[in-house]
Amino acid sequence: MWKGRFSEDIERTVLDFTQSLDLDWRLALADVICSAAHVRMLSRVKLISPQECGAILSALKQIADEIKSGKFVPKVELEDVHMNIEARLIELLGSVGAKLHTGRSRNDQIATTMRLYLREELSKLGLSLCHMLEVLLRCAERHVDVVVPGYTHL
């Protein structure tokens, strides 16, 4: 991402400091889903052809499968999850893959990916909370006759 600004390679320590893969790799599938939605929009407004849309969607599906299976190995030098997925798409499709970034700011991409990821995680958390409440309710029903002394904070 930064290479165009410098004539020499970036020090490994700087790459290690600025990369975020250890934190944002969990966003990978959400990023692929957001990219699929974006490419459908590009096709709908005729910025890419239906054939290009289909090729990009197929490649994104392949990338999602690679992520799920653990075959996708992110590269630290690409800095973050978004650049890794984009680079893999370009590796698979060449210049057609690069069209995914058309009309899309990196900040909007990150914000949308984060929202989608958090929505899914909150849904999982809500389900876990419901299960916990069911367990507590069953426990309370089994022990309805148990007297438990209680004290105030005073």
Q: State the DSSP code for 80.
A: S
Residue 97 lies in a domain: yes
Does 2 have pLDDT greater than 60? Answer: no
Residue 3 lies in a domain: no
For 6, the token pair is: 């410098």
- Comparing CA positions, the residue from 45, 16, 20, 15 lying closest to residue 106 is 20
Which of the four pLDDT bands, split at 50, 70 and 90, describes residue 10? low
Residue pair 116/33 in contact by the 8 Å Cβ criterion: yes
pLDDT for the residue 6: 59
Residue 84 lies in a domain: yes
For 59, the token pair is: 């490649």
Measured CA distances, 74 to 15, 67, 129 (Å): 14, 9, 33
For 108, the token pair is: 């909007």
Number of domains in the chain: 1
| Distance, first Cα to last Cα, the chain | 60
- Under 8 Å CB-to-CB from 86, ≥6 apart: which residues? 97, 98, 100, 101
Residue 80 lies in a domain: yes
Residue 38 lies in a domain: yes
Residue 153 lies in a domain: no
Indicate which CATH number applies to the domain containing 93: 1.10.275.10
Question: Among 6-15, 45-54, 119-128, which stretch is predicted with the lowest mean pLDDT?
Answer: 6-15
Residue 54 lies in a domain: yes
Residue 148 lies in a domain: no
Structural domain boundaries, residue 103: 9-142
What is the pTM assigned to this prediction? 0.76
Please give the average per-residue pLDDT across 73-86, as a whole number: 89
